[in-house]
Amino acid sequence: MVGDRRFKDPIDLHSHSSVSDGTQTPAELMAEAGAQGIGTIALTDHDSTAGWAEASAAAQEAGVTLIPGMEFSTRVQFSSVHLLAYLFDPTDDGIIRETARIRSARLTRAEQMVHRIAADYALSWDDVMAQTTTGATVGRPHIADALVARGHAVTRSEAFAGILHWRAGYYQPHYAPEPIEAVRLVRAAGGVPVLAHPATRGVADVVPEERLARLVEAGLFGLELDHRENKPEARARLAALADKYGLAITGSSDYHGRGKPNLLGENTTSPEVLERILEQASGSNPVYP
């Protein structure tokens, strides 16, 4: 039903606003997407849907189709795994409870990291709060911005490569559910789950086939293989598994405004794949201009 499509190309299914670690408000992000000729954009802030309402109004104004989404923090032992979730019901109890728990754990963890860093560098919790929008999902990027403001690093990336790297000794993990639990929650809320940038750690650390098979059984829809941080060999391995298990392949920028070098629309998703996402989603609706 190609002729009936109400959304436009190019399609970018992963972006962040100041509701998490992007540098633009949801409205600014939608205006930017419109100005840059993006046809369809998903807003996928970490562990929060707080930007959806503002983004909806701004997307309509900017002439962009909005796919409401979120990037769910999950964890396998000490590794953090991100799960993109599209068009789920933001009022679903399971989603609300779990994301509130993660955001609260993130806050405590950030305070503890700042406490540790403050033993060696001039840095306070107020410095971090000065870089954070009220109610935003707090992460290392906000600590990075505070370190930059204090002159301990020149850019976010430099802070990540140095003081915020897990090897530096200040790193601390935070609570997050297992990926399979998040996949189930997203499907139960009528959403469509896609594993975010699943090939960033190289081919040796790619998700083992048995685990991927269990995620598929639980409702995983696809793999975000077209993402700048995925490593070529690992991407090829996962492309073969996607084929075997009937998983869709998505592509997106993971735009964070000035917070990362990623550019809007640098990777995109095909209209056919978005069409399948829309067919499977029942928790909320896209916002058409």
Residue ranges in contact with ligand AMP by CB under 6 A: 21, 46, 139-141, 156-157, 160, 256, 259-260
**Residue 227 binds which entry of Zn ion, ligand AMP, Fe ion, none, with Cβ cut-offs from 5 to 8 Å by kind?**
none
Residue 82 binds Fe ion, judged by CB under 5 A: yes
Compute CA distances 186 → 57, 119, 170, whole Å: 24, 40, 32
Q: Which is nearer to ligand AMP, 68 or 259 (CB)?
A: 259
Torsion of CA 255, 258, 261, 262, to 10 degrees: 10
Tell me which residue has its CB nearest to Zn ion.
254
Region of 287 on the Ramachandran plot (φ > 0 left; ψ -120 to 50 alpha; else beta): beta
Q: Which is nearer to ligand AMP, 163 or 238 (CB)?
A: 163
Q: Which is nearer to Zn ion, 11 or 117 (CB)?
A: 11
Quote the distance between the C-alpha of residue 115 and its chain's center.
Answer: 26
Question: Shortest distance, CB of residue 254 to Fe ion, whole angstroms?
Answer: 6
Binder among 7, 11, 18, 21 for Fe ion (CB under 5 A): 21
Q: Which is nearer to ligand AMP, 237 or 256 (CB)?
A: 256
Instruction: Give the Cα separation of 289 and 273 in Å (integer).
Output: 20
Q: Which is nearer to Fe ion, 7 or 163 (CB)?
A: 163
Question: Shortest distance, CB of residue 118 to Zn ion, whole angstroms?
Answer: 28
Q: Which of residues 160-219 bind Zn ion (CB under 5 A)?
A: none
Question: Shortest distance, CB of residue 5 to Zn ion, whole angstroms?
Answer: 26
Written as one letter, the residue type at 199 is A
Per-position DSSP letters for 127-160, written without gaps between them = HHHTTS-TT----HHHHHHHHHHTTS-SSHHHHH
Strand order in the sheet with 192-195: 11-12, 40-43, 65-76, 79-86, 192-195, 222-226, 248-251
**Residue 156 binds which entry of Fe ion, Zn ion, ligand AMP, none, with Cβ cut-offs from 5 to 8 Å by kind?**
ligand AMP
Question: Shortest distance, CB of residue 197 to Zn ion, whole angstroms?
Answer: 7
Question: Shortest distance, CB of residue 9 to ligand AMP, whole angstroms?
Answer: 25
Written as one letter, the residue type at 181 is E
Quote the distance between the C-alpha of residue 213 and its chain's center.
Answer: 22
Residue 21 binds Zn ion, judged by CB under 5 A: no
| Contact (Cβ atoms closer than 8 angstroms) between residue 269 and residue 41 | no
Binding track over 237-276 against Zn ion, x by CB under 5 A: -----------------x----------------------
Q: Which is nearer to ligand AMP, 39 or 139 (CB)?
A: 139
Instruction: Give the Cα separation of 81 and 182 in Å (integer).
Output: 11
Helix (H) or strand (E) holding 188: helix 179-188
Residue 32 binds Fe ion, judged by CB under 5 A: no
Question: Shortest distance, CB of residue 21 to ligand AMP, whole angstroms?
Answer: 5
Q: Under the rule (CB under 5 A), what is the footprint of Zn ion?
A: 71, 254
